[in-house]
Structure 1
Amino acid sequence: MTQRRRQQYDDNVPPEQPTDSPHRRQHEQHRRSKGCFFWLLLFVVAILLFGGHFILQKYRTVHSTINSINHPTGIQKARQTNKVLHHGRPISVLLMGTDTGALGRTYKGRTDTLVLAVLNPQTSSMTLVSLPRDAEVAVSGHEEDYPSKLNAAYAYDGSASAVQTVQKYLNVPVDYYATINMGGLENLINVVGGVEVEPTLTFSYGGYSFTKGQKVQMDGKKALAYVRMRYTDPQGDYGRQQRQRQVLMAVASKAASVKSLLNAKFLKTISNQVTTDMSFNDMLVVAARYRKATHHMNSTHLQGQSKMIGGQSFEVPDGNEKQRVTNLLRKALDLSPAQTGSTLSDSNEINTD
C-alpha cells in the first residue's frame, strides 16, 4: 500500500496502549459490554426490535423511512436470508459505527465500532461480539494491500467489503449489516432533546470538561466531544468505544421510551444517519418474531495483542482466541463447528452448514 493511501486509513497518532493487564482489560470490557452492546443494536436497527408496535401504527411514515435507509451491498450473501427469516432461524447482523462526517471528514470514513450480533429466537438469546478496529486483515477484494486494519475495510467498498472481510475472517455468515454515522450523532442527540450521561473518567476535550461519576446533561456538541477523545484515555481505543456505546445507549433508551419521537423530524434524522440492507418486510419479521432474542444476552469481544507491523500498530488475536469466537458465533447460529477463517485464504466460501 502506498504511503498516501495508508495514511487515509490509519489515525495520524498511534493508539495509546492500555496501562492495565490484558486479563483485567478483558474482564472489564466483558462486564461493561453486557448492557451497552444491546443498546447499540437497539439503536442501529432503530424501531426494529422494540418497534413492531410503532411500525404497525405508523406504517406509511416508517415504510418511507425504511426505504430511504435501505442500501443493499450488491454482493451475493453467504446464505439465503429470506429463507432463514421465513423459518425463524438465528440471524447475524454486522453493526458498524462509521466516522464519516466526524471532525470535518468528507471521505467515506472508517468503522470506529464493529459488533457482530446473533439473534436466536429459538433459544431467546442474543450473542454479541465486539471486533477490534485495528485487527490485522487482508481486506476482501484488496488483498494486495495486506496488512490492513479491519476498520479500513469500510473505506474501500463500504459495507460490502466490510461484510465480506468479517465473515471470511471468522468463517461465519453475515446475514445483514447496519451502520450508524457517528459524525451525525450530534443531530440525533439534539433531536431527542439531549442525553444524561455519567462520565467514566475525568478529562477535558473540545472545550468541554467531564468529571468521573458526575452525571451531566449533554447536547449534541458536548456528547460528540465526550465520545471522540481517545489518546488521553488510559484504555485507549477500548475506552473510547465504551463511551460511544454509553452515549448510544442513552439515545436509544430515550427514543424507546418516548412514542412521540416517532414523528417526521425524528424519522428524517434517522434516515440521514442509518443505513442497512434489511428491507421493510425483513424488519417486520424481525420485529414480530425475533424480539424474544433480547431476553438473554451473551456478550464478549475478540481479544488481540498489540503488534507493530510495517510501522503500524495492529491488534492480532492468536489462533485459539479466534477459534473461540468462531465457535461461539456458529453455536449461536445453530451451525456445525468449523475452523475459524483467514482473510488470506484463497477461498471465499463461508461454511453455512
Structure 2
Amino acid sequence: MPQRRSQYTQADSSFRDEEMQTDEPLQRRHQTPHHRLKGCFFWFLLFFVVVLLAGGHYIYQKYRTAHSTINTIHKETGVQKARDTQAALKQGRPISLLLMGTDTGALGRTYKGRTDTLVLAVLNPKSEAMTLVSLPRDTKVAVYGHESDYPAKLNAAYAYDGSASAVRTVQKYLNVPIDYYATINMGGLENLINAVVGVDVSPTLTFSYGGYSFTKGQKTHMNGKKALAYVRMRYSDPQGDYGRQERQRQVLMSVAMEATQVENLLNEKFLNTVSKQMTTDLSFNDMLLLAAKYRKATHHMNSTHLQGQSSMISGQSFEVPDESEKQRITDLLRKALDLSPDQTGSTLSSSDEINVN
C-alpha cells in the first residue's frame, strides 16, 4: 500500500506539472463559471462602492446647503406653543399651519406691509385629508396685545408685531391651536413659483386676465406670471374678494406643498429664492418630517372660508361674521385636528387659554 500510494502521488505530481505547461486557452477552459462570476461581482461591487461614495458626498453637500438655507428663513415667533408640536410631528398627528401672504414688495412697497392673504391649513395624514380655511383680511378683530385699538382688521395684526401677533390673534379668535406659521412675500411669488418649475391648479371659474385664459375645473400648469394673473383678478369674480381669496389659497398651498418635496429641499435655486421670499418657524428637520409623513394628507382637500357681512365702522369697511359662522369654522378645524368640540373664541376675551384637548 505505501508503495502504491507513493506511485500515485508521483503520477499526480507529474500530471500537475504537465497541466501547468499547457497553453493559455486550455487554462481558461478549466476555470468554472462560478469563478468567473465571482470576478465580475468583485468589479461590480468595487464600482458600486465608488459611485456610492461619490454620490454620498454630493448628497451630503446638497444636504448641508439646504440645511444652511432653511436656517436663514427659520424665525421663531417667540409665542409659547399651545401644545407639543414636535411630538405631534414625530407621531404623525394632525397639525395646523397658518399661511400668510404679505403685501411687502408688491406694487413697489418696501415697508413691512399687511397680510393680503391668510389661510389656516390642517394636515391630517390619518384621514389623508387637508382642510383649508381662508380668513378675510378685513375681519373685525382685536389684535392681540393691542386691544385698545379695537376694532381693527385681521390683516393689520401682522403690521403690529409681525407673525407673532397674527398667530396669537387668529388662534384666540377661533379657539384653535396654531402649530406653525409660514409667511410668503406676495411681491416675490412669481419667482418662488418659477423656482419650483410651476404649480398645478384647477381654476375655480372661467375667465381671462392679464393675457391669460383659465377654464373652470381644467387642471392647469402655471408658471409665475400666469399664476399671478390667476390670483390677481378680482372684479370679474362673482364672489368678489372671497373668490380671490380662494384662488390665492389654491396657489399658496400648491407652492407650500412643493416646498416640502425633498428634491426641492435639495435644489439650490429653489432654496436661494425661498430665502428671499419666505419665513417660517418650521425647521429643516420639521420639513423633512412633513415631506415623509404628511404627503398623503394632500390626497383629499376640503376648502372653505369664513363668511362675513360687510359693515362700515368709523369710516372703515369690515367683514363681520356672526357667531354661528365662527362656530362652524371652529368646529371644522377642531374636528380636522382630532380635538374635542368647544366654543369658538373671542379676541376680546380676557383669557388666553386655547383648548388643545
TM-score range, shorter chain: 0.7 to 0.9
User: Partner residue of 1:230?
Assistant: 234
Asked if structure 1 preserves the Cα contact closer than 8 Å seen for 2:134 and 2:249, the reply is no
1:88-147 deviations in whole A, cap 9, x for unaligned? 322111111111110111111111111111122232222221111111100001111111
CA distance in 1, matches of 2:80, 2:153: 24
Letter paired with 2:169: T
Matches within 5 A, 1:168-317: 168-191=172-195, 200=205, 208-211=210-213, 213=215, 220=224, 224=228, 227-231=231-235, 233-245=237-249, 247-248=251-252, 263-317=267-321
Q: Quick check: 1:96 aligned with 2:100?
A: yes
Q: Quick check: 1:338 aligned with 2:342?
A: yes
- Structure 1 residues 175 and 196, CA gap change in structure 2 (3 angstroms): closer
1:266-312 deviations in whole A, cap 9, x for unaligned? 21001111111011222222222222222332222111111111111
CA distance in 1, matches of 2:348, 2:156: 16
Asked if structure 1 preserves the Cα contact closer than 8 Å seen for 2:182 and 2:278, the reply is yes
CA distance in 2, matches of 1:120, 1:196: 21
- Structure 1 residues 256 and 342, CA gap change in structure 2 (3 angstroms): closer
Structure 2: stretches of 5+ with no match in the other structure: 1-58
Asked if structure 1 preserves the Cα contact closer than 8 Å seen for 2:129 and 2:300, the reply is yes
- The secondary structure found in structure 2 opposite 1:335 is coil
Equivalenced residue count is 296
Letter paired with 2:190: E
User: Partner residue of 2:171?
Assistant: 167
Asked if structure 2 preserves the Cα contact closer than 8 Å seen for 1:192 and 1:261, the reply is no
CA distance in 2, matches of 1:103, 1:83: 41
CA distance in 2, matches of 1:103, 1:197: 24
User: Partner residue of 1:320?
Assistant: 324
Identity of aligned residues (%): 75
User: Partner residue of 1:19?
Assistant: none
Letter paired with 1:65: T
User: Partner residue of 1:24?
Assistant: none
Q: Answer with 260-269 or 318-327: which moved more.
A: 260-269
User: Partner residue of 2:40?
Assistant: none
1:188-213 deviations in whole A, cap 9, x for unaligned? 24445677989856566xxx444554
User: Partner residue of 1:72?
Assistant: 76
- The secondary structure found in structure 1 opposite 2:245 is helix
Cα RMSD after superposing both structures: 3.2
CA distance in 1, matches of 2:62, 2:134: 33
Letter paired with 2:181: Y
Q: Answer with 247-256 or 322-331: which moved more.
A: 247-256
User: Partner residue of 1:105?
Assistant: 109
Deviation at 1:80, TM superposition (A): 1.9
CA distance in 2, matches of 1:241, 1:228: 10
Q: Answer with 100-109 or 216-225: which moved more.
A: 216-225
Asked if structure 2 preserves the Cα contact closer than 8 Å seen for 1:201 and 1:210, the reply is no
Q: Answer with 329-338 or 94-103: which moved more.
A: 329-338
Deviation at 1:239, TM superposition (A): 3.3
| Aligned with 2:141 (options 137, 142, 157) | 137
CA distance in 2, matches of 1:198, 1:289: 25
Deviation at 1:217, TM superposition (A): 9.2
CA distance in 2, matches of 1:250, 1:122: 21
| Aligned with 1:63 (options 48, 67, 73) | 67
- The secondary structure found in structure 2 opposite 1:340 is coil
TM-score, normalization: structure 2? 0.72
- The secondary structure found in structure 1 opposite 2:173 is helix
- Structure 1 residues 93 and 185, CA gap change in structure 2 (3 angstroms): same
Asked if structure 1 preserves the Cα contact closer than 8 Å seen for 2:196 and 2:264, the reply is no
- Structure 1 residues 245 and 277, CA gap change in structure 2 (3 angstroms): same
- Pick the structure with greater CA Rg: 2
- The secondary structure found in structure 1 opposite 2:269 is helix
CA distance in 1, matches of 2:195, 2:356: 41
Structure 1: stretches of 5+ with no match in the other structure: 1-54
- The secondary structure found in structure 1 opposite 2:92 is coil
Determine which structure has the larger helix proportion and give its number.
2
Asked if structure 2 preserves the Cα contact closer than 8 Å seen for 1:91 and 1:120, the reply is yes
Give the structure, 1 or 2, with the largest relative contact order (CA under 8 Å, sep 6 or more): 1
Asked if structure 2 preserves the Cα contact closer than 8 Å seen for 1:178 and 1:277, the reply is yes
Asked if structure 1 preserves the Cα contact closer than 8 Å seen for 2:176 and 2:355, the reply is yes
CA distance in 2, matches of 1:254, 1:72: 22
User: Partner residue of 1:33?
Assistant: none
User: Partner residue of 2:131?
Assistant: 127
Asked if structure 1 preserves the Cα contact closer than 8 Å seen for 2:171 and 2:354, the reply is yes
Letter paired with 2:286: D
CA distance in 1, matches of 2:229, 2:125: 38
